[in-house]
Each structure stands twice: as structure tokens, then as C-alpha cells.
A and B are shown apart, each in its own frame.
Chain A
Amino acid sequence: MNIYVCVKHVPDSAATITVEGKTGINEKITFLLNPYDEHAVTEAARIKASSADTEVIAVCLGKAAAENTLRAAMAMGADRSILIETDTSRDSIFTARALAAAIRSDGRPWMVFTGKESIDSEGMQTQFRLAQYLSLPVATNAIKVDADSDGVTVECEREAGTIDVYRMAAPCVIGAGKGLNNPNYPTFPDIVKSRKKPIKKIGTAELTIDTPVAGMQIQELVPAVEQHSPKALTGSPADIAAQIVDILKNEAKVI
């Protein structure tokens, strides 16, 4: 049985982002496996460990450098990878179509994992579109997954203190949330082993992807400007407290 894990190659959350051209960023910074995808890979590897004849396949739409992210996913437990190569940034409508096409051409999924969102474009939608194109049920922000051969019982955290329990027939799509597990950070031997695992590279032209009518195109990217100029609050704790109350009342007008 195949568990596909869709992963994204994203800038390190601590990296300095410099806008280049009108819509791009300087990519000479550290890129990593998207943090939520770490939970997705870890969960797929956990399920594989307790199921017979299961293979975990990481799938990524990205530029050539995304190979590093696939290596990271394989060091964390994926058995092999598919890199759908593109040389431009793609919106989630195209991305989900490409991922669906790559999965369809590779095999029949038991489960498809994604992260609940990517930390670069923060679109929060690829898993839903992927499910739609594959005609599968989907749940997101999963914090617990119990899988059997007919389906999956999944607990999803909707908001503070609210957990939804869903039953989905297999195959299905699951967006991994942070509460799902502690990522399997790889050991050195895992990394060495991952270097020998295969990556199949395909171009978007080799896949059957119908051209979407809809799209989301970045027209301009600008650095977020900071609008704060810090002023000190001084004096005794009681003085500071009084100044805070004054700010709340007279400046922010929230009380």
C-alpha cells in the first residue's frame, strides 16, 4: 500500500527575506522541509512501521534545489521520492493538479499526507484542492491518525479546546498539524541511507495536467514595513502599570 506525502521546499523561518525583481525573493538562503510536512512524513513512517507491505513516497513540486527537501523527507522515513520539476513558483491550483497527476501516474494511494499549510505562501488550501482532483475525502490540522485498511479515524484540532473526530474512507487526504507527533529528526545513518534512496524526476509536461482556468498570480512583493517606534515605560511597577492602563484607555481606546 502506498502512502504519499506531499512536501514543500521553503525558506528557513529564520532566514532574511530580500525581495528580488517585482515578485521574487533572493533564493540564496537556507531552504528546508516545510515544518508541518515534517509531521506528515513522521506520521507516514509511523503508520508504515505497523503495516505490512507499505511504501512511503514523498512528492514535491519544486525547482531543482527541492531535491534537498526530498532527501530530508527520505532521511525522516520516506522510501523514495518524486520531484515534479518546475522553474517558476506555482499557485496552489496548479500545484494540487500537478501533485494529483504525479500520484495518479505512480500508483494507488492508501493515504495522502500534506502539511496543514506551508510557511512561505501560507495558502492553507493545497490539501483541499488535491483531494478534490483525486475525488477523495480530506481533513486538516490532524493531531491523531488511526489507520486501518478501510479507512482512517482522524482527530483534528479546529480551535482551542475543540477537536473534531472524523472517519474517512481510504484513500483520503490528511493535512498534518503540529500536534500530530514529534518529528523524527534523522540521525547520521538515516542521512547516509537517504542518499541511496531513489528520486524520480519528472517535468510538468510529462504529466497529464489540464490547464486551469483559475489562478492566483503574485503581482508585487514588498518588504513589510515596520511601523513601531519604541518608547520606554519607566518607574516603579505601579508606575509602569499606571502607564499601561493609560495607553489602553487613551491611546488604544480599548477600555
Chain B
Amino acid sequence: MQPIGLLIEFKSGHIKPANFGMATAARAENRQLVALMVDAPADDDKAALEAYGVTRIVNIHTDSNQWNPAMHAAAVVAAMQENGITTLIGLTSPAGRELLPRVAAQLDAPLVMDCIEIDLDDHRVKTSQFSGKTIATIAMTGTHFIYGMRANVIAPLEAPAAAEVIDFSYTANHPSGFEVIETRTDGSGSQYLAESDIIISGGRGLKNAENFKLIFDCARHLNAAVGASRVAVDNGWVPYAMQVGQTGVKVNPKVYMAVGISGSVQHFAGMKTAKTIIAINTDANAPIMAHCDYYAVGDLFDILPALEKALASMTR
């Protein structure tokens, strides 16, 4: 049985659901799924991992309770070595973007981020390149293999198993010259865009920051994340972390609603893989209207309040 390491991430004290899609993608008869958890916040996650076929859980304890990407990556490398793991899969998430490349650099191992398909036997993956305009098939060679998956590309499927739990203490061997002074969280990071099933994004058509409330109101009923075009970000209406596109977050939701967004190539680069795209725009000739599944030619200031009302009456 080949052990496959899954770099597990947490949100609000529990495992992020996108990890279960990752476990599903990695599962095969000849493989053992090993969950690597750095300073796991809860110990009631065992059952959730077992439900998706994980048979070994490695609780990695570092000597600090603080986020420290250099130390966490070093701890993951040590745990991989201890458990004979040469293949590691993680998410192309904010933490994954920090940890996976550090692990790959330490091991001098190949890494492809944002994979939309992975073949762990042949070490071959697919990922988008050139702002989503092409799909590349990449063959990896080396002694260790690191994969960063795009969230939500594989739907989680249960395959219950029983897991053993192992504790692994990592004492730094402190990565020199790198120190965490503080992590500041302002609480605005409600839902990470790339892992959301539903995203409603606003663009220049929103006209100002206050009007984004119309989008947030709809999003709340759907537990959707809110995104934006670069124009909305550059105008200071919403923070940069909400920007979808080539120079923002790349997302892959089940539903993407583009409201008052023209659909520039750079915006498309970040959302073209959404399953269902719904556009609301006053201009029937905006590029987004020709590259979506459903479009409404109309004023967002009429349609969003109507949608909010419809959603409110439905969820009540």
C-alpha cells in the first residue's frame, strides 16, 4: 500500500469540506490515505476523515500554536519522512499556497498547483495556464511528488474506513532568519472564495461600496461568497482579497453570478470553469453575455432587490 499524504486544513476549528474532495481524488485500492494535520484544533474530526477513507491520522504537534509557514512546512516534511510518504496532496488555498511550495522546495520535488485532474500513478496532472486560455498536461519526475488541487474539482464521495491516530512531535530545528511577529485578522475573511459553491460578484455596474450591500444581502440567504471585478477593487469598494480573475483569486464554484461585470478576458481567467454562470447586465453585448449559461439583460438595481426578496421568502 502506497501511503498518500493529505495536507488537511481547518476553518473555524474543523476540517474544511474541500479536503474530502481531495481524499476522494486520492483514493485507490493500492493506496493508504494518511491525513497530516498540523496543530489540529479539534480531536473530534477522526470520524469525518474515516468517512472518506482515511486510515491513518498523523497529528503533528509543533511547539508553537501560531501560524508559521516555514516551521509548519518543515514539520510536514519531517512527518512525511517519518511515515514513508513521498506523495503529498493539498489544496491551492491561502495556506496551501504557502505550505506546498515550501515543502516542494525543501524536498527539491516537483509541484503543480491548481490541478484540475491528477494521476498519482503516472505523476501526471492537468492545470490551466495562460489565464485559463489553455489546459496543460504536465508530467512530473522526481523522488517526491507534491500536488496542489483546485478546490471542488472532485465531489466528495464517502468510503468509510477505520483510522489509527498517531502523534508526531516536531521540535524546530528552527528555520533560521524567519520569525512570525503577528497575524492580524479583521474578521472580514468570511468565506474563502475559491472554496465556495456559490459566488456572487459585482463590478463597475455597482457604482460604489454601499451598493455592494445588495450583493451581500442575496449572498447571505444562499451562504454564498461575494467576489468582485478588478474595477470594484481598484475603486476601493471591496478589498483585494475579493478580486476574481487573472490577478485575483481563481474560483471554481457550482454557480457564479456576475453582476454589472463586463466579462473581460482577465476576469474570465478566474471564473471560466464555474459550472453555471449567470450574468446580469444592462448591455446585451457585454462579452459575459455570450460566455455564460444564463443572462438577464436588465438593471442590477431592479434585479438584485427582486432576487433578495425571492430568496428571503424561500428561506424563511
Contact = CB atoms under 8 A, between A and B. Distances in A.
Interface residues of A, number: 85
B239 to A, nearest CB: 6
B105 interface: yes
A64 interface: no
- Among A163, A220, A243, A244, the most chain B Cβ lie within 10 Å of the Cβ of A244
Interface size class of B (residues with CB under 8 A): 35 or more
B83 interface: no
B232 interface: no
A136 B297 CA distance: 54
B296 A234 contact: yes
Contact of A178 (B141, B184, B222, B247): B247
Interface of A is mostly: mixed
Interface stretch (B40-48, B159-167, B204-212, B269-277): B269-277
B118 to A, nearest CB: 13
A137 B175 contact: yes
B239 A230 contact: no
Given A159-B192, A255-B314, A168 B177 contact: yes
B150 to A, nearest CB: 11
B104 A11 contact: no
Given A140-B98, A160-B190, A226 B272 contact: yes
Contacts of A228: 277, 291-293
B112 A216 contact: yes
Interface string B165-192: 0000000000111111111111111101
A230 to B, nearest CB: 5
Given A241-B306, A248-B255, A137 B133 contact: no
A115 to B, nearest CB: 10
A129 B255 CA distance: 36
B278 interface: yes
A111 B1 CA distance: 45
A169 interface: yes
Contacts of B302: 237
B188 A230 contact: no
Interface stretch (B14-22, B26-34, B49-57, B123-131): B123-131
A251 B276 contact: yes
Nearest to B257: A244
A132 B73 CA distance: 13
Nearest to A160: B241
B113 interface: yes
Nearest to A249: B314
A232 to B, nearest CB: 6
Interface in B259-316: 264-266, 269, 272, 275-278, 280, 289-298, 302-303, 305-307, 309-311, 314-315
Given A125-B113, A158-B98, A218 B303 contact: no
B177 A165 contact: no
Contact of B295 (A93, A164, A224, A232): A232
B137 interface: yes
Contacts of A121: 129
A86 B219 CA distance: 49
A43 to B, nearest CB: 16
B278 A244 contact: yes
A33 B266 CA distance: 16
Contact of B138 (A36, A159, A218, A233): A218
B250 to A, nearest CB: 8
Given A124-B113, A132-B106, A221-B137, 8 more contacts: A13-B247, A124-B114, A138-B178, A158-B94, A162-B183, A224-B133, A230-B291, A248-B255
Interface of B: 67, 69-70, 92-95, 97-98, 100-102, 104-106, 108-114, 124, 127-144, 148, 175-190, 192-193, 197-198, 222, 239-242, 246-247, 254-255, 257, 264-266, 269, 272, 275-278, 280, 289-298, 302-303, 305-307, 309-311, 314-315
11 contacts: A35-B247, A120-B129, A132-B105, A179-B240, A218-B136, A220-B136, A220-B137, A221-B136, A241-B307, A245-B307, A254-B197
7 smallest CB-CB distances across A and B, nearest first, come from A214-B142, A160-B241, A169-B177, A161-B189, A161-B188, A159-B94, A160-B189
